Amino acid sequence: LAEALQEAGFATANIDYPSQSGSVEEIAPLAVGLGLNECRATGATRIHFVTHSIGGILLRYQNEQSPIPDLGRVVILGPPNQGSEIIDKTRDWPGFEMLTGDAGAELGTGSDGMPSKLGPVNFELGVIAGTGTINVFASAMLPDPDDGKVSVASTQVEGMDDFLIVGSSHHYITRGDVVFRNTVAFLRTGKFLDEDKAGIGMTD
């Protein structure tokens, strides 16, 4: 995805962060801060974000705690904006937090989950949700349709500007031409491509 954005003319900072090493409160300033610092070092004055899964929650949390003045448009892929029912159903299982980490454990759908504590988004946001799955067991714990980790309904959030469904699984939603071209389109125009929205559920 970073390569596709570079080919479209965007400079990118591809940020890796330890998603299982702390809470959302601890990880968000690290992950978001690294991205902002790398982009600002190039002289950028408007910084777009593209995030996957919990990355969207980290960005939303950090922007609420410390509004980002140079924030541009945002595309989030497979985000648990309303939490994930999988967290609700597995939190009492042995070894739960070893698998999810503290931040993942905060992604339940209840009032104590981090997603429910975040307000509506106040920046230009496009959400891309998946309907494919490579984990039938996990999908059985989710309302249909889903991507194997998050239901399509749970990806949506108040204040988003556009929404697109693709036939990808949670892990692979970061790949494929449909996601590539629509991410570029939203960052450029604030909208996904009408022809792809008409083909809801199509695979790449």
Tell me the pLDDT tens digit for each residue of 146-167.
999 999 999 999 999 999 999 9
Q: pLDDT exceeding 90 applies to what percent of the chain?
A: 75
**Amino acid (1-letter code) at residue 94:** P
Mean pLDDT of 116-135: 94
Give the CA distances from residue 91 to residues 7, 98, 104, in Å, rounded to whole numbers and listed in that order.
Answer: 42, 11, 10
Phi, psi (5° rounding) for residue 162?
A: -155, 160
Model confidence, pTM: 0.91
Tell me the pLDDT tens digit for each residue of 44-97.
999 999 999 999 999 999 999 999 999 999 999 999 999 999 888 877 666 656
Question: In which residue are the tokens 């801060």 written?
Answer: 33
What mean pLDDT, rounded, does the chain reach? Answer: 91
Determine whether 118 is exposed, middle or buried from the number of CB atoms within 10 Å of its CB (0-12, 13-18, 19+): middle
